[in-house]
């Protein structure tokens, strides 16, 4: 079958990952084809019409590799296969072919920092101090007086060191004790992970989202992490320490550079990095010569104060720090954080959708956010996430943002014929794809219109960014490309806002609004409460 990729807009940057929109699928929760209450690859394949109808360009599929599921697939026991609960390798190949035949690119999750403790590499490593794979993981003797070798803390609570009774040594795990960290200083580990990359690239995948990359190297001297003076009770316990000696070590960039060089021997693939870092440190992940990640994920919208001045200065800081030639990107939600609509409310979630789809840079959209899905309360007996189990009651659990996709008003929201692995939102009978598709005022219709507009207007996908300041609570910017300019105005408040517009926007018409009745009309002197608009500026 020949592969037809969407034609890039005129004057496009060369790469699909620059003008395209990425959609994250959390496979356990997208669609269940075999009635076991858990999503699977065939389920995804049964919903391809949704993806093309919506208008996304690429899907990133969270892990579906064999896994004991202690961290829901982020604990991998075989990097080169498919877990039976998700399907088979043959089904993956079919899914990949079908997605690509529709012009969609396919990005996989790569988890290089750690394996499952059930991975054969670790089983060998733990078997004896003399085993050749001992050094594939991070093993250390106890501290001189006994106990863990350093004060390093696990992301999910407790010490990051786990004692192996048999050998008397400890191994390091940045996440669960069932997720031992690999030793990236060992060249055999690097080679083995490169083989994993090749395995999937040879099958035809279009790139990787690389998990937890800032954890890849830890201080060889095992220096204790300093106390965090800003810690207050209620924060995740791991924040008692500043992760100076356990994250973002300089060696990480060489390791990423090697992955990128490997990708470069294939056509047109993308490397995306997951690193939760301040902007100044994040920029180093592009590489000195733009030879590391194409897109180090920018998560700063997720934690942002939802006010125009705060967003304006955050965007300005990001734009200013981007290395020359580096391509920006924006993420509004993912499987690790509270849902957008729960963070900012339903009305502002629509404003946020316009922001995500009109900022300069590749947008990543989390499944279900196109419906405005909210966090679903999880009763204690239904909790799945190990983070919530280890550190209960602080609101850190990730299950609420991982609940099944709401396809229709059918039982189990059309997700499955059986009771799903996590509860379905109480409002699914109203908040679902089937209903929202028919509703011109729905979030789904808004997203579809936004993506269509973005595809039709290179200004929005490729244009330069220039801030404008039309009112205190209004975030505004131009996007300019090839002699054309569009403008975006977002009312971050729940009350109408008078606008002081530059002359180029005085008579401008609304191309799109969160309030669809305004489309096609002049913008006038005011934005409605919670309104965001895209305008065509006059030249
Ligand atoms: C990343 C993933 C998260 C996972 C962790 C450990 O942050 O997004 O879901 O728990 O890495 O792999």
- What is the overall mean pLDDT for the chain? 96
Q: Is 211 a catalytic residue?
A: yes
Residue 173 C-alpha from the chain's centroid: 22
Q: The whole model's pTM is what?
A: 0.96
Q: 530, 473 in Cβ contact below 8 A?
A: no
pLDDT confidence bin for 11, thresholds 50/70/90: very low
Instruction: Calculate the alpha carbon distances from 489 to 312, 397, 465, 480, 513 in Å.
Output: 12, 34, 13, 15, 10
Residue 463 has pLDDT above 60, yes or no: yes
CA separation (Å) from 469 to 474, 478, 489, 498, 539? 7, 11, 9, 12, 19
The tens digit of pLDDT for each residue in 508-526 reads: 999 999 999 999 999 999 9
Q: For a pocket test of ligand 1, which of 160, 175, 391 has the largest count of ligand atoms closer than 8 A to its C-beta?
A: 175
Residue 13 pLDDT: 63
Supply the pLDDT for residue 3.
44
How do residues 62-104 score in pLDDT, each as one tens digit?
999 999 999 999 999 999 999 999 999 999 999 999 999 999 9
Question: What average pLDDT does the segment 219-235 reach?
Answer: 97
Ligand 1 pocket residues where CB is under 6 Å = 71, 74, 111, 175, 211-212, 274, 335-336
Mutate which of 74, 115, 174 for ligand 1? The one with the most ligand atoms within 8 Å of its CB, which is: 74
Region 452-472: mean pLDDT is 95
**Catalytic status, residue 319:** no
User: If you take atom 3 of ligand 1, which residue's CA is the nearest one?
Assistant: 336
Has residue 346 got a pLDDT over 80?
yes
Q: What is the CA radius of gyration of the chain?
A: 23
d(Cα 78, Cα 65) in Å, to the nearest integer?
6
Ligand 1: nearest atom to the Cα of 111: 12
Measured distance CA(464)–CA(478) in Å, rounded: 8
- Which is higher by pLDDT, 270 or 506? 270
Among residues 248, 274, 369, 375, the one annotated as catalytic is 274
């Amino acid at each position: 079958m020949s592969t037809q990729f969407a034609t890039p807009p005129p004057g496009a940057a060369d790469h699909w990952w620059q003008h395209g929109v990425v959609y994250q699928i959390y496979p356990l929760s997208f669609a269940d084809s075999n009635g076991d209450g858990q999503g699977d690859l065939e389920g995804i394949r049964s919903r391809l019409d949704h993806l093309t109808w919506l208008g996304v360009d690429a899907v990133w599929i969270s892990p579906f590799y064999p896994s004991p599921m202690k961290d829901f697939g982020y604990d991998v026991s075989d990097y080169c296969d498919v877990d039976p609960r998700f399907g088979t390798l043959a089904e993956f190949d079919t899914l990949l072919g079908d997605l690509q035949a529709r012009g969609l690119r396919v990005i996989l999750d790569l988890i290089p920092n750690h394996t499952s403790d059930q991975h054969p590499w670790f089983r060998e490593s733990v078997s004896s101090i003399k085993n050749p794979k001992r050094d594939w993981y991070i093993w250390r003797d106890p501290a001189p007086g006994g106990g863990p070798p350093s004060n390093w803390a696990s992301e999910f609570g407790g010490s990051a060191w786990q004692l192996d009774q048999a050998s008397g040594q400890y191994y390091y795990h940045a996440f669960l004790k069932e997720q031992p960290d690999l030793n990236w200083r060992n060249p055999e580990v690097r080679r083995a992970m490169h083989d994993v990359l090749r395995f999937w690239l040879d099958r035809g995948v279009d790139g990787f989202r690389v998990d937890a990359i800032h954890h890849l190297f830890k201080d060889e001297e095992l220096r204790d992490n300093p106390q965090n003076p800003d810690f207050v009770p209620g924060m995740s316990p791991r924040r008692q320490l500043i992760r100076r000696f356990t994250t973002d070590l300089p060696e990480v960039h060489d390791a990423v550079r090697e992955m990128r060089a490997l990708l470069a021997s294939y056509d047109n693939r993308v490397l995306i990095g997951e690193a939760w870092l301040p902007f100044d440190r994040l920029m180093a992940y592009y590489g000195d010569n733009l030879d590391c990640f194409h897109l180090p994920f920018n998560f700063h919208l997720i934690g942002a104060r939802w006010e125009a001045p705060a967003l304006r200065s955050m965007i300005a800081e990001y734009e200013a720090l981007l290395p020359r030639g580096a391509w920006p990107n924006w993420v509004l939600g993912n499987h690790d954080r509270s849902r957008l609509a729960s963070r900012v409310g339903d009305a502002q979630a629509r404003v946020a959708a316009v922001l995500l789809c009109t900022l300069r840079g590749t947008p990543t959209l989390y499944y279900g956010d196109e419906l405005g899905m909210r966090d679903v309360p999880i009763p204690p007996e239904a909790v799945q996430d190990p983070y919530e189990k280890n550190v209960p009651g602080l609101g850190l659990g990730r299950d609420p943002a991982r609940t099944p996709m709401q396809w229709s008003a059918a039982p189990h929201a059309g997700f499955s014929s059986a009771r799903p692995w996590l509860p379905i939102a109480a409002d699914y009978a109203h908040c679902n794809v089937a209903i929202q598709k028919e509703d011109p005022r729905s979030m789904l219709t808004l997203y579809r219109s936004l993506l269509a507009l973005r595809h039709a207007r290179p200004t929005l996908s490729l244009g330069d960014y220039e801030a404008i300041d039309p009112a205190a609570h209004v975030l505004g910017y131009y996007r300019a490309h090839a002699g054309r300019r569009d403008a975006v105005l977002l009312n971050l408040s729940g009350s109408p806002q008078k606008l002081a517009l530059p002359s180029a926007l005085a008579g401008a018409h609304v191309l799109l609004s969160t309030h669809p009745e305004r489309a096609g009309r002049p913008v006038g002197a005011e934005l409605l409460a919670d309104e965001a608009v895209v305008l065509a500026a006059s030249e």
